[in-house]
A and B are shown apart, each in its own frame.
Chain A
Amino acid sequence: MMMRRSVFLPLLSSLALILIWSGLAYVLQSRYLPSPADVASAFLGELTSGALLFHIGATCLRVMGAFCIAIICGTAIGFALGRSPKANLIFDPWLIFALNLPALVIIVFCYLWLGLTETAAIIAVALNKIPNTAVTMREGARALDPALDEVATVFGYSGWSKFNHFILPQLEPFLASAIRNGLALIWKIVLVVELIGRSNGVGFQINFFFAQFDLARIIVYTLSLMVIVGLIEALVIKPWENHARAWRGDS
């Protein structure tokens, strides 16, 4: 009964949203609010032409590249700062500065320094996410249990084996949080990067259709990307998180 309700209510709510959208589009009859039917038609057009898959593919590759760089670098920096109070004292102002730097400024600087290139685009996105990841992982490193550290020492664990068996499992909840927030932030920044300095991708297409006042296609590209990000969350991140937390008995 609970299961059926948990599926039924969100479905009903989504249906209600589409109905309200349809009603408003019908009443206003404006090109600035396309109806769900207009969007569906635009979707089919973009899908059959191959444009949708091409541009979404380009965006996804950028998201993946920036995401990997941001998670690896952010984790390394955060872990180092969390484990070394001295390093944290020295570099904390840098981190605060980086956290407060507007995304747009980082993007502009990367394009100016590295040119309007793919490398610049991916680095700009990664640089925007690294400080957030570092802050989350710094908290994770601070929360490591010193008692388990002693267990590792007395049983002769060091280096990678210590990290793998004793440290990584303690960091996993923080890593999961960094990954989830990272994905949510990165794909939005990638759109801005594409809008400013790339000739393909969802951001580029949104800019292109914005110039033509084609809101239906803007919605098509936005919703398609949101669906893909949602699928990654549901099919990859959530199952991994559940697996990592199985020992707590609360998943």
Chain B
Amino acid sequence: MNFTFAAKSFGPQKILSPISLTLKKGKITALMGPSGSGKTTLLRLIAGLDHDDTQTPKKHLKIGMMFQEPRLLPWKTVLENIEITGPERGLLKDLDLENAGALYPRQLSLGMAKRVAFARALARSPDLLLLDEPFTSLDDSRAALMRSLIIAIKDRLNIPVLITTHDRADASALEADIVTLQGRPATLHRIDHSS
């Protein structure tokens, strides 16, 4: 799955240089770089939420996306939030949320809300999974649970997974291919192996 974008600017400031990124089916790619390097901007370009400077048309893919903030619909219960993208199919149990189905987002901790957002992204049975800083605000055990789920999902669905993170340990634990954004405007660099 190849994504090619022209440069991306915000006003006079050029954020990203022209970028070409290939994502492989059944592989996790970790997009790394310091804060403000353009990781989320690139993720938004891939998701079709933003355009590059030449208005490259977006690919028509079924995307499952987890934003940095949970962005749950506050008027829907946890179960309803998941089911807006597809059937729940045991995701609540998989994510240790089996007793939370009837709760509203205001009743959840940030960590729980992030797991619900993850379940919502998966319920869609996506062609491509985009996860923006999925492990922040999660305690170690829940982060480990989510890492193992990400690995299981990409194997089961055989889809490419792109995550943004600034923690190399996360990328290593996921056995992910690593690409980094460096410089300003940022250019994309592929690192051969996560180790």
* Residue A113, interface by CB 8 Å: no
**Stretch from A65-73, A92-100, A153-161 that touches the partner:** A153-161
Asked whether A148 and B73 contact (CB < 8 A) given A153-B48, A154-B63, A155-B124, the answer is yes
Is the CB–CB distance between A249 and B84 below 8 Å? no
Interface of B is mostly: loop
* Residue B178, interface by CB 8 Å: no
Is the CB–CB distance between A247 and B106 below 8 Å? yes
Rounded to whole Å, the gap between the CB of A247 and the closest CB of chain B is 4
Looking at the complex, which one of A147, A169, A248 makes contact with B71 (CB distance below 8 Å)?
A: A147
Asked whether A154 and B74 contact (CB < 8 A) given A165-B84, A247-B104, A249-B104, the answer is no
* Residue B47, interface by CB 8 Å: yes
Tell me, in angstroms, the Cα distance from A154 to B64 when the chains sit together.
Answer: 8
* Residue A150, interface by CB 8 Å: yes
Tell me, in angstroms, the Cα distance from A99 to B170 when the chains sit together.
Answer: 59
Tell me, in angstroms, the Cα distance from A165 to B85 when the chains sit together.
Answer: 11
Is the CB–CB distance between A154 and B47 below 8 Å? yes
In the bound complex, residues from chain B placing their C-beta under 8 Å from that of A169 are 73, 75
CB-CB nearest in chain B for A172: B75
* 8 A Cβ contacts from B50-103 to A: 62-63, 65, 67, 69, 71, 73-76, 84-85
CB-CB nearest in chain B for A165: B84
CB-CB nearest in chain B for A249: B106
Tell me, in angstroms, the Cα distance from A60 to B8 when the chains sit together.
Answer: 59
Is the CB–CB distance between A156 and B62 below 8 Å? yes
- Residues of A in contact (CB 8 Å), total 15
CB-CB nearest in chain B for A244: B75
* Residue B49, interface by CB 8 Å: yes
Is the CB–CB distance between B104 and A151 below 8 Å? no
CB-CB nearest in chain B for A153: B49
* Residue A166, interface by CB 8 Å: yes
Asked whether A155 and B71 contact (CB < 8 A) given A150-B49, A247-B76, A249-B104, the answer is no
CB-CB nearest in chain A for B81: A151
The 8 closest A-B pairs by CB, nearest first: A169-B75, A247-B75, A154-B65, A247-B104, A151-B71, A155-B85, A154-B47, A147-B71
| Contacts from A to B (Cβ < 8 Å) | 147-148, 150-151, 153-157, 165-166, 169, 247-249
| Contacts from B to A (Cβ < 8 Å) | 47-49, 62-63, 65, 67, 69, 71, 73-76, 84-85, 104, 106-107, 120, 124
Q: What are 27 of the A-B contact pairs (CB < 8 Å)?
A: A147-B67, A147-B69, A147-B71, A148-B71, A150-B49, A150-B67, A151-B67, A151-B71, A151-B73, A154-B48, A154-B49, A154-B63, A154-B65, A155-B63, A155-B65, A155-B124, A156-B62, A157-B84, A166-B73, A169-B73, A169-B75, A247-B74, A247-B75, A247-B76, A247-B104, A249-B104, A249-B106
